[in-house]
Amino acid sequence: KAGVTQTPRYLIKTRGQQVTLSCSPISGHRSVSWYQQTPGQGLQFLFEYFSETQRNKGNFPGRFSGRQFSNSRSEMNVSTLELGDSALYLCASSLARTSGNEQFFGPGTRLTVL
Amino acid sequence: AQSVTQLDSQVPVFEEAPVELRCNYSSSVSVYLFWYVQYPNQGLQLLLKYLSGSTLVKGINGFEAEFNKSQTSFHLRKPSVHISDTAEYFCAVSTANQAGTALIFGKGTTLSVSS
């Protein structure tokens, strides 16, 4: 079974631009969660989508948004990029029947904002 | 609100020595507990999880963890480490029985195994 895939793996943008990251979950998984990983703040939960609906949201500004398509693929968008948005963005998929279900992580997209 | 504290940011050990990575959590509700490992330039991989039942949980690669409710701890242990165990380890919690999979992570512990 193929794992979680994220594209692109690396991205360089400048301040003020916007960016879209993509995540394809494991086949059959209906939940996709996004996390931001930085050296200073560690791993922080951004949001979760389940059956095309945002089910949970972390404490991030409205510049961070996402969506999920009917095939469970998900995208996250960051508008008006700031230097502090430089991070590894991880996507995880899960069967998500309960919060105890294992989340399977992709390799991440490393975003650098100049 | 929930929080996770990993008490050691770096743990250096020699190969074949035992290791313990410490994790404490804070929550006003029941939680599920997880340990994940991250190798360089990779995503996270689940080592083990505690949902309920026996407080001693065994995971992959010879790791185990013990849930201690009175001390709100979930320490990870391995009796004999290998060079290949060098990685970053994350303890995480989620609210039990909730709809949704949001995980709260600790800051991570870097395990460095040398020969």
pLDDT per position as a tens digit, A59-82: 999 999 999 999 999 999 999 999
Whether B54 has its CB under 8 Å from any CB of chain A: the answer is no
Residues of chain A contacting residue B102, judged by C-beta atoms under 8 Å apart: 33, 45, 48, 56, 58, 99
Domain ranges across chain B = 3-114
Whether B51 has its CB under 8 Å from any CB of chain A: the answer is yes
Instruction: Determine, for residues A96 and B101 on separate chains, whether the beta-carbon distance falls below 8 Å.
Output: yes
pLDDT confidence of residue A58: 92
Q: pLDDT category, A97, cuts 50, 70, 90?
A: low
Please give the class, per CATH, of domain B3-114: mainly beta
Contact indicator for B23, B5 with CB cutoff of 8 Å: yes
Quick check: A100 pLDDT over 90? no
Model pLDDT for residues B11-56, shown as the tens digit of each residue: 999 999 999 999 999 988 888 999 999 998 889 999 999 998 889 9
Instruction: Determine, for residues B103 and A31 on separate chains, whether the beta-carbon distance falls below 8 Å.
Output: no
Lowest mean pLDDT among A3-17, A36-50, A92-106, B40-54: A92-106
Cα dihedral: A93, B57, B106, A114 (round 10)? -40
Q: Whole-angstrom Cα distance, residue B91 to residue B106? A: 5
pLDDT confidence of residue B28: 85
Residues paired with B13 in a beta bridge: B113
pLDDT confidence of residue B2: 86
Instruction: Determine, for residues A106 and B43 on separate chains, whether the beta-carbon distance falls below 8 Å.
Output: yes
